[in-house]
Chain A
Amino acid sequence: MAKRMFIGFWGCPPRHALARASRLCPFADFVDLDVDMNAPATGIVPDSYCQIVTNIVDNAFYLKDDLRLIVASIGEDKCDGGRFAALILKDLGFPIMEARNTEFEQEHISICSSNLPLFEKVDRIMDGIIHPSRRKVKQITPTHGFWGVPPHDMELLRLFPDTTHVYGWLRCVEAGVPADLDVEMHVDPGIPTVFYAQTFCQKTALARYLADKHNGLYIDCDGPLTNSVTAKVTAFIRLG
């Protein structure tokens, strides 16, 4: 049986870093270490910590035997959590290629403003980091907005109608500019928007500030989707 080989990555590394990693490990598939894989808990990061960065560390150990290289986003395009995860994993013997995505030339955005279900919008945007897509998607006028990052529990996204536009860091990723705060701060005025950040993430400050500024709903979630977050989002969409 052929042995699996992976290039792990997190965040939105620049294309040249991913291309270089692919040349170094031509038979390896890319795997996003941010995503929940039900990996056993290593206990390396504290319990009260960003679940996404916890995923990164736990997934790295889970795939340790098959990981040939990790492309680690350590710049403003990710966060200090990513930077420390790279440091810790390197210290523990993982092969780390540090990367910073400082691209500021925006690409065309279409998935964020399409009629795809929100879950699929986010999935396609993140998939586009490795497999950029040229598929045409139908554009729609937004009735609601989702601002933020891919949630640890993606089921949150199924609470939203298909007429939800995507803002925040996700929009930055589709535009190819993950460190661009102007793009990250942008929302369409008057559109009822849910501002989401992962619990314990520094981005909660931005999410909450923007929710107050734009009369939106601020939510943060740690692990699995909670009853109160579900109720808040559902009520906001119904009453808003």
Chain B
Amino acid sequence: MYRLIADCGSSWSKIKDLDSGRIVICPTSDVLADANIHFEVATGHLGKDRSDKYENELVALAQGSLRLVNDPDFTVVDIGSRDTKFVSFADRKMRKLDWNQQCGASTGFTLELLGRYYDVDFSKLRSTIDRIPVTCGIFAIERIFDAIIRGEAAERALAAFIHGIAYNIHNFAQRPDTLYISGGMCENRCFLESLRGYCEVIPLGRNVLLEGLAEQVEQSL
């Protein structure tokens, strides 16, 4: 019998086997299609009905980042397919938190969609100083299309869009000097380069919330 914990995001699920330590990343649609899969602890609303214990994503993010970061004062932001969350700590106690599912939402999902459509590899895309304001994702996409219609290369337009996202996220996290990043954007070179125009950036990878769940399992033993 596998002991599994999971972070079931809107697009991707991160599943850890507690015994072997192995981590699998798979589309959440695959998890939902498998009626037999069940988790000891899960986070992400799509994991609610599949687990013995469900954990709030902000709590998982906070606990996971405390496991991975040694600084007394720090800010971590998790950028998902459809939302963005941040937690900031002072003396390793939660100072501020927020979760944005509205404006600027769907950023991860939107980027994946645009990347596939224009066949752009974000791990190789260079950043640009140009920035498309991303007050609203819909308006920003319109500007991307306008730029491409005017003859601009898709890569450059997408890089400007990503710069807009980076600017927004830095503001959303309350403009820290150093920002720890959680989630799929850790693999987006263009995003990391753009964000480095505003602060020091330390990627933590995609498993921060899983670490938070693992912390809970260990504490309960």
A40 to B23, CA, bound (A): 50
Q: Tell me which residues across on chain B come within 8 A of A226, comparing CB atoms.
A: 101
Determine if B59 and A235 form an interchain contact, defined as CB atoms under 8 angstroms apart. yes
Determine if A228 and B59 form an interchain contact, defined as CB atoms under 8 angstroms apart. no
Which parts of A216-240 form the interface with B (CB within 8 Å)? 217, 226-228, 231-232, 234-236, 238-240
Q: Tell me which residues across on chain B come within 8 A of A215, comparing CB atoms.
A: 95-96
Q: Decide yes or no whether B99 CB sits under 8 A from chain A.
A: yes
A215 to B89, CA, bound (A): 12
Q: Which of B45, B94, B100, B101 contacts A239 (CB 8 A)?
A: B94
Determine if B59 and A238 form an interchain contact, defined as CB atoms under 8 angstroms apart. yes
What mask results when residues 90 to 131 of chain A are scored 1 for a CB within 8 Å of chain B, else 0? 000000000000000000000000000000000000000000
The residue in chain B whose Cβ has the minimal distance to the Cβ of A218 is B98
Q: Decide yes or no whether B213 CB sits under 8 A from chain A.
A: no
Q: Tell me which residues across on chain B come within 8 A of A232, comparing CB atoms.
A: 58, 97-99
By secondary structure, the A interface counts as helix
Q: Tell me which residues across on chain B come within 8 A of A217, comparing CB atoms.
A: 96-97
Q: Which of B94, B95, B99 contacts A231 (CB 8 A)?
A: B99
The residue in chain A whose Cβ has the minimal distance to the Cβ of B174 is A212
CB of A221 to closest CB in B, whole Å: 11
A12 to B57, CA, bound (A): 38
Q: Tell me which residues across on chain A come within 8 A of B45, comparing CB atoms.
A: 227
Most chain B beta-carbon neighbours within 10 Å: one of A234, A238, A239, A240: A239
Q: Decide yes or no whether B211 CB sits under 8 A from chain A.
A: no
Q: Tell me which residues across on chain A come within 8 A of B87, comparing CB atoms.
A: 239
Determine if B96 and A228 form an interchain contact, defined as CB atoms under 8 angstroms apart. no
Q: Decide yes or no whether B56 CB sits under 8 A from chain A.
A: yes
Q: Which of B83, B95, B97, B100 contacts A235 (CB 8 A)?
A: B97
The residue in chain B whose Cβ has the minimal distance to the Cβ of A216 is B96
CB of A113 to closest CB in B, whole Å: 25
Determine if A228 and B100 form an interchain contact, defined as CB atoms under 8 angstroms apart. yes
A-B contact pairs, 13 of them (CB 8 A): A217-B97, A227-B45, A228-B99, A228-B101, A232-B58, A232-B99, A234-B59, A235-B58, A235-B97, A236-B97, A238-B56, A239-B97, A240-B94
